[in-house]
Every structure is written in C-alpha cells, then in structure tokens.
Homo-oligomer: A and B are copies of this chain.
Amino acid sequence: MTVEVLAHIADPNAKPAGRIRQKNEQAIIKAAEDEFAKHGFKGTSMNTIAQSVGLPKANLHYYFSNKLGLYQAVLVNILELWDNSFNTVSVEDDPAAAIARYIRAKMEFSRRHPKASRIYAMEVISGGEHLSQMLDQDYQAWFRGRAAVFAAWSAAGKMDPVDPAHLIFLIWSGTQHYADFASQICRVTGRSRLVKADYEEATEQLITIILKGCGLTPPAKDA
C-alpha cells in the first residue's frame, strides 16, 4: 500500500515541520490515540486529549486544523506502522513458511500496537468512511494480488484448495482479536493483562491450527 503519498490528506494546510512542531504534533497524536482507541472518533473530545498532553486545547487547533484532521493524522500514523512483509510474498515462496511468518507478524503487531489495532477496528466497525479516502482503490488491488498467491499455491497442489479471501480473513481476525478483544480475553481467562508469553502461545496455536487446516506442515524451525 502506498501510504507516503497520502500523508497530505491528514492536513492539507500542513506547515513546514519545525523541531518544536514535530515534537508537539507527535505528543498530541500519541495522546489522541489513547482516546480514539477507547471511544472512537465521535466519542473522543479534544478537551480530554488536551488535558492528557498537558496542553491548552487551543494548541491542538494550532497544530491540527480540526478534530477530523487530528484523527486522520492518527490514522495515517497507523497505516505507516503496518507490516509490509506480506506484500513481497510470491508464488515461488514456501506456503507454510510464508503463512507462518505472516501470522507471526500480525500477532506481533497486535502485541506491540494494540491501540492502533483498536482504532482501526473501531473505524471499520463504524463504517470505515474515514479510511475510504485513504486506501480505496489500491487496497482492493492489493488484496486481490495477495489472494492470487494463495490461489496459485492451491492450484499447484502445494496446499488445500481453501478460498484465499476467507483464509486471509481468518488470519486477520484471529490475530487482531488479541489486541481488540484483550479486555474480554482477560476477563474469561482471569488475567489482569496479556503478557508476551500469552501472545507467543497464541501465535504458535494459531500457526498450528491454520497451517494444518490448509493441509500444510509447519516449517521445522523459524528462521
């Protein structure tokens, strides 16, 4: 996905970035992520963000044209975090190794950036209107390209003939769940929070089930 090109969407009248500006913008965005992750776009107030950064709310409007501009900056920030290793997977690669690596990368993202995952989830649940401006056309093309790789593997008899789209959705949902639904996982398992070991265990279980489910044998050891 080409994300750099879209940075201007976040703030059309963006001023040249001085040192102070860059630092403050990042601080505001970081605080904004906390709120957006908990309450979504509509449910978040500039006031709360301002208090969280320790800045008067007028400053937020100095750095970002308005609430929507700040939100879009946060979204762009998230899209830039996304792991792109899956983009380069090709038909020549080993399916089992490639899928295992992708699951690992997605789960690592859930562990390291749970708030980013939640903001994205809330945005999609809300209809994803703010995202459509950012990734409409080439996102669909990207998805088709990735699905084609799975289809080619199946056609070559390297894996079961599973529907590529549904397999990708299963990988997405299964990994994102550990970020988005962490509060529920904690509740039903009696944990206070998820630690690294929990994510590692989940990763191995997901890889085991999904690879076998596609008729694949897990790679002997991860590289």
Contacts and interface: CB of A to CB of B under 8 A. Distances in A.
Given A124-B183, A172-B181, A212-B212, 13 more contacts: A39-B42, A40-B42, A42-B42, A42-B44, A140-B187, A140-B189, A140-B190, A143-B189, A165-B189, A166-B201, A169-B178, A170-B209, A209-B213
Interface in A167-214: 167, 169-170, 172-174, 176-178, 180-181, 183-185, 187-190, 201-202, 205-206, 208-214
Interface string A24-62: 000000000000011111111000000000000000000
A215 interface: yes
Interface of A: 37-44, 118, 121-122, 124-128, 132, 136, 139-140, 143, 160, 162-163, 165-167, 169-170, 172-174, 176-178, 180-181, 183-185, 187-190, 201-202, 205-206, 208-215
A181 B125 contact: yes
Main secondary structure of the interface of A (DSSP, over half): helix
A143 B210 CA distance: 23
A188 B125 contact: no
Nearest to A128: B183
Given A143-B188, A163-B201, A213-B212, A121 B180 contact: yes
Nearest to A181: B124
